[in-house]
Amino acid sequence: MKIFYTCEYCGEPIDTIEVDEADEVKFGFDCLTDRERQDIIKTDASGNAMYVHSLCGKCITAIGLTEE
């Protein structure tokens, strides 16, 4: 399965990884609520790809989420 990470803010691709199985605990998805999962994670109909919305480094800085 390929997992495509895209910035929710600017739409730019962040990264793509390929895994045998999408382990929710390994990827930190287990800490999301059901609503957050619906908003952040999409899977294609065939189950071969997952699309995850996150934030890229530039957008994290631009919206002031960095620790200073």
pLDDT of the residue at 33? 94
Three-state secondary structure call for residue 61: helix
CATH number for the domain harbouring residue 48: 3.30.1490
d(CA 66, CA 68): 6
* Count of domains forming the chain: 1
Please answer whether residues 64 and 22 qualify as being in contact, where contact means their C-beta atoms are separated by less than 8 angstroms.
Answer: no
**Residue 68 belongs to a domain:** no
**Residue 26 belongs to a domain:** yes
Which pTM value belongs to this model? 0.83
Domain extent for 43 = 2-62
**Residue 11 belongs to a domain:** yes
Q: What is the pLDDT of residues 30-61, one digit of tens each?
A: 999 999 999 999 999 998 999 999 999 999 99
